[in-house]
Amino acid sequence: MKERVRRAVFGGSFDPIHFGHLLVAEMLRERAGLDEIVFMPAARSPHKQGTGAAAAARLTMLRLAVRDNPRFRVSVLELGRAGPSYTIDTVRVLARRWHGRPQWIVGGDALLELHTWHEASALLREARWIAYARPGAEGAEARAQELGIVYHKQMLSPLSSRELRARARRGQSLRYQVPESVRRYIERHQLYQVRVAR
């Protein structure tokens, strides 16, 4: 009988993917004894108002970033979905595919907002959660304890995609903050640049 793959989903906009995401994924994979991390870019997150790059560009950057790690893979499950990407819908699809409750990685900042997510109570029942510390997420550890969620206290990276988009708009370097292949892609396609109407 084939042994079940131990995996967890790392969802988000990844706009852009950066070394903080990759470090979190690798460290949590080791700490949780996982075989695989599945990066799942959202087509349109109901919690974020408009991402800076199109879904196709975010997917390309994500694939570039993880291609050298055999323990990382990318799922396009949510990219084909029309409308907002509700996590509960994805959890239910994966539960059928993987024959069990999916594990889901979430930052402390998102954990504090989990009660506002679509069908939040069902989410807590139908997925197993792995949470990690994020800057400005005071109270996340206590919330994780209330919910019975494993919480990793060590803040693994202060990087944020929002700040990286702002840096790109200002023409500042993203070197050493994103993989070099991703940096070149952003520069080549002039992502996050302000388009001036002519």
What is residue 2's predicted lDDT score, i.e. its pLDDT?
58
Domains and CATH numbers, the chain: 7-187 (3.40.50.620)
Contact (Cβ atoms closer than 8 angstroms) between residue 130 and residue 104: yes
Q: How confident is the prediction along the chain (198 residues), in pLDDT tens digits per residue? A: 456 889 999 999 999 999 999 999 999 999 999 999 999 998 865 555 555 899 999 999 999 999 999 999 999 999 988 777 789 999 999 999 999 999 999 999 999 999 999 999 999 999 999 999 988 899 999 999 999 999 998 767 789 999 999 999 999 999 999 999 999 999 999 999 865 444
pTM for the predicted model, two decimal places: 0.91
Q: Token digits for 117?
A: 């997510």
pLDDT, position 83: 74
CA angle 95, 127, 132 (to 5 degrees): 135
What is the C-alpha separation between 144 and 140, in angstroms, rounded?
6
> How confident is the model at residue 197, as a pLDDT?
44
